[in-house]
């Protein structure tokens, strides 16, 4: 009796038993490609946004059967689009900073904030001058009283006032 012996590569046999999606997952694990969800998480954008980029052709992808894979090198141009935005403290709008130290969304907002700071500083100076003037007047009145009433002696101040 003769037996037909068939030698099968074990790896190919296991691959044939896997479903399409499982084969895609295995392929992605072997390579560095990312799924759309993983790519969206890496870019910090919503997966729907990423799918729109794929459909419009802006983001190149690798298609295997029904699976979609994204090469991480293709994500680099999109990192700038997903940069965090800052809030302008003057107008409270979101803006993308042009450089690291940008605090305001535009020159008019920066100028308005600067003018407000100058105005507040002027008001504070004026208020301090008013306080200083009021304290100076109070000290002057006290000095006049001391001089008119005999050197600040409290005894007989009423009599001294009546005498004047």
Residue count of the chain, please give it: 164
pTM of the model: 0.38
Confidence (pLDDT) at 4:
54
Q: What is the distance between the alpha carbons of residues 73 and 60, in angstroms, rounded to a whole number? A: 10
Angle formed by the axes of helices 36-43 and 47-56, to 10°?
110
Does 153 score more than 60 pLDDT?
no
Handedness of CA 98, 102, 104, 109 (dihedral sign): negative
Confidence (pLDDT) at 77:
83
Mean pLDDT, the chain, whole residue set: 76
């Amino acid at each position: 009796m003769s037996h037909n012996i068939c030698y099968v590569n074990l790896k190919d046999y296991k691959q044939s038993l896997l479903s399409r999606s499982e084969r895609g997952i295995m392929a992605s694990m072997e390579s560095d490609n990312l799924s759309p969800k993983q790519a969206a998480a890496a870019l910090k954008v919503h997966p729907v946004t990423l799918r729109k980029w794929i459909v419009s052709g802006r983001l190149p992808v690798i298609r295997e059967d029904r699976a979609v894979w994204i090469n991480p090198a293709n994500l680099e141009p999109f990192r700038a689009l997903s940069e965090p935005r800052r809030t302008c403290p003057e107008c409270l709008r979101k803006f993308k900073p042009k450089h690291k130290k940008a605090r305001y969304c535009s020159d008019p907002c920066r100028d308005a904030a600067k003018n407000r700071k100058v105005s507040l500083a002027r008001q504070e100076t004026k208020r301090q001058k008013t306080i200083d003037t009021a304290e100076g007047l109070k000290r002057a009145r006290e000095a006049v009283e001391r001089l008119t009433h005999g050197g600040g002696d409290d005894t007989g101040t009423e009599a001294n006032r009546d005498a004047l």
